[in-house]
Structure formats: structure tokens, C-alpha cells
Amino acid sequence: MGYRIVIADDEPITRMDIREILEGAGYEVLGEASDGFDAVEMCRKHKPDLVLMDIKMPLLDGLKASRMIRDESTAGGILLLTAYSGKEFVEQAKDVGVMGYVVKPVKEESLLPMVEIAVAKGAEIAKMESDMQKAQGQLEGRKMVERAKGILMKTYNISEDVAYNRIRKLSMDKRCSMKEIAKVIVLNG
């Protein structure tokens, strides 16, 4: 599948080699950055599926740039490509939330499977976050309806079922969600 990728490395030769590997495998390279700052900007502009990021770069290092990209959700995932295999770098990478860590020199047979896995994991995480936000919205809606039912029950001395049916009927009559009707009732209650 032709995933969209940004390459960030301060070495032009490394960027060129990685680009050749990726394009040869059918991936689309959206751009190349020679420092972390440009990588962040490219991700804001293009929203790639994956960023291949070196750690040691000028202006803004790869770990800080990765944290910004992750916090802003401007890329599906981040894969670190670095010459540094020290434990401290690996620990920092785990804290940043990258999808993988590949030690240079990069070989096609090790890079391509990592790209596939990183993109798949990024999509899986994005779906879970979306599902969680949807569930949170539904829960908030239910809580709002419960509060509105309580207000109607107290104000009009009616049963819970009658209060619920009033909210439901208003929702249908006004062609809006029960959550919206409940919000108005709570605000006026």
C-alpha cells in the first residue's frame, strides 16, 4: 500500500537512500527535512501516515520534534532511524511514544516491515482514540439526559418515564438530539 511518508535526517545521503528504498517499495515520500523544525512543519502541512526521524539533528532534535508531532497528532506514527543505540536514547524514545526504533545503517529488509507495522499500529491507535471519544460523547449525552429528567421530575412532579418521553418528544419535534434538548432543560432548570 502506498503510505505517505516524511523523512527527517540531517544527512542528505541517508535521506536519499531511504527515499530510494521507500519509493522502490511503492510508498509516497511527501518531503524531506534536514532538521526537527522542518519535520514538524512538514507534518503540520501534509499529515503523513508515518515520519522516519533521526534523533540527532540541528535546531530541534528528533526526540523533541517527535514529541511535538505526537502531541499535535499531525502524523499517523513516528519511526526513529538513528545511529544511537544507547539505553538512554531508547528510554527517551519510549517516553516520546514512537512506533519503533531502527539502528542505522538502514537495510531495506529491516526497514520495510517496520514501516508496515508502524503504520498499522498508528491506524489502530487512531481508531481506538476515535472510539474512545465517541464513547465519551455518548456518556456525556446520557448524563445530560439524566440530569434533565431529574429537573423535569422535580419541577412537574412526574415519573422518570414521563420525563424521558417529554425529552424524546421534544427531540423529535425540534429535530435535534436528546442531548441538545437536555442541555437546554439543564440550562433553564
Q: Which residues of 147-183 are buried (b: 16+ CB within 10 A; e: fewer)?
A: ebbebbbeeeeeeeeebbebbeebbeeeeeebbebbb
β pairing state of 28-33 and 4-8? parallel
CATH of 132-188, one of 1.20.1250.20, 1.10.10.10, 3.40.50.150, 3.30.420.340: 1.10.10.10
Cell of 5: 511518508
| Percent of the residues in the chain that have a pLDDT greater than 90, as a whole number | 86
Q: Where are the beta strands (DSSP E) in 10-53?
A: 28-33, 50-53
Q: Where in the chain is the domain with CATH 1.10.10.10?
A: 132-188
| Percent of the residues in the chain that have a pLDDT greater than 70, as a whole number | 99
Tell the CATH superfamily of the 4-106 domain: Response regulator (3.40.50.2300)
Confidence of residue 13 (pLDDT cuts 50, 70, 90): very high
Q: Where in the chain is the domain with CATH 3.40.50.2300?
A: 4-106
3-class SS shares of the chain: helix, strand, coil, % to 5 = 65, 15, 25
pTM for the whole thing?
0.78
The pLDDT tens digits for 124-135 are 998 999 999 999
Residue 1's pLDDT is what?
62
Contact 50, 26 (CB under 8 A): no
